[in-house]
Each structure stands twice: as C-alpha cells, then as structure tokens.
Amino acid sequence: MAGLLTDRNVLVMGVANQRSIAWAVARAVVREGATLAVSYQSERVRPRIERLVAGLDGEVTLLACDVSSDDAVAKAMKRLAADMPVLHGLVHSIAYAPAEDLQGSFVETTRDGFAVANDVSSYSLIAAAREARRLMAQGGSIVTMTYAGSHRVIPNYNVMGPAKASLESNVRYLAADLGPAEIRVNAVSAGPIHTVAARSIKDFAGMLELLQTHTPLRRNVTADEVADATVFLLSDLARAITGEILHVDAGAHAVT
C-alpha cells in the first residue's frame, strides 16, 4: 500500500538528535514513502546525524546548513539539487535563542539576543523558502514549527515568544507570495515536548505537569504526533490548506 508521501522528495531542516521533533518528522516521512534529505547545523554534528539515519530505509541526503548565513542556505540547496532536482516538501524545525536571554525577566532581553533569536528562528524560514522554491517546480508544501508562546505569555519562554510570533507572520506572508506557484506554507503549533532544546526553559517539567491535568485530552503530546500532523500538511490530503497554524497540543489552545 502506497504511503501518503510516496514518490515525494522531502527536506527536513534542523535534525539535532534522536529526541528532536525534526527527527520524528524525518522518520515519519520515510515511513510514508518519501525520499529524505536532512540538514543539520554544522559538520561538527554530522557523525551523530549519520548514526541516526543509518537505521532508516533508503538513501538519505545529508546537508550541513548554517541558516544564519544566506550563502550557506543557497549552497546547501544547490547541493540538494544534485540529488533532488525536484523538491516536494520542506520542513523547517529550527529555533534558537542564547541561553542567557531565556533566563530572568523578558525586559532584560539583550538587543543581540533578540536579533539572534529572530534571525535563526524566524528569518531562516524566509531564507529556506526563497531557495527551496526554485526546486519546487511542481508545487510543494513548506511546514514550520511554532508554539503557543507566539500569542500569549508563557513563563520563561521570553525572547522566543516574539520570535515565534514573527515566524507565524512569515507563514502567512509566504503563503500569499508562493501560492500562485502552488506552494503551500503552514505551521504546526505543538504542545510542549521534552526535547533537549526544551531543557533550556526554566521549570519546563512543571509546565508539562500542569498541562497534563488541564488539556481537554488530559495529557501532553509526543513528537510522533507532531510528525504525523506534519505528514498530513505535506501530503495531498492538505492540498487546499495554506497560511494555517495547525494546533497539535491535546486541545490546550482551546482552554488556556
């Protein structure tokens, strides 16, 4: 039986380790029949990524891509084109803020920290979409990852809140810009997931415990559930959906 992404080429950007959402997405798109490419931050982490993808079916294209550099993004996409002249899906699962700007009060956010958080977590989607569209001659789907801190105050989320708000605005503007080329742009707003990156948020465990008792489903979500929703947005089942923020948070957005 064919999968939802059979005969599709999909690039997942931001794989860092086995607990990352990007890795869950990578596994899901392979399960659904796609040919996979993976990008990671620098060559320093390549051995770790090689070990991860070794267990997947089929060949996987690996790309180092520092998304804070337009030149690096362009070069990564050029390398990708050698293996995937046509790209059908792009998953942007990248976020970063300096640790010191995730501590203390938001009002103490530094200018440099704010700039870095928005550059890496938000602008990088624009940079990736600009280059990926050249490979999406048959149309395609771009999906990014956001969080509820984009539209309401989440304790200790600090500078990442404005960065995610910017990211969601980018989704809408890119959807309008790329729609005539049959390229859809959406975001998944995931509930909190215990990834390595989440450890930098103070009292993250307390946040998980609270939501487990307050969401309509009375539980938290998993990276695999976020990955399944991402597969849906990448697939033809979502062919009329663009500019959307899809909540995968056990219903938390409806009651909090």
User: What backbone phi and psi angles, to 5 degrees, belong to 144?
Assistant: -120, 170
Pairing of strands 245-248, 183-190: parallel
Rounded to whole angstroms, the Cα distance separating 30 from 162 reads 33
Spans of the chain below 50 pLDDT: 196
In 3D space, the residue among 239, 91, 93, 246 whose CA is nearest the CA of residue 179 turns out to be 239
- Is 157 a known active-site residue? yes
74: DSSP letter: H
Q: Could you state, in order of their start, the residue ranges of all structural domains in the chain?
A: 9-255
Say what the pTM is. Answer: 0.93
By CB atoms closer than 10 A (0-12, 13-18, 19+), residue 194 is: middle
User: What pLDDT does 154 receive?
Assistant: 86
Residue with tokens 């033809």: 236
- Which position among 40, 96, 123, 157 bears the catalytic label? 157
- Which position among 40, 96, 123, 147 bears the catalytic label? 147
- Is 173 a known active-site residue? no
User: What pLDDT does 62 receive?
Assistant: 97
CATH topology of domain 9-255: Rossmann fold (3.40.50)
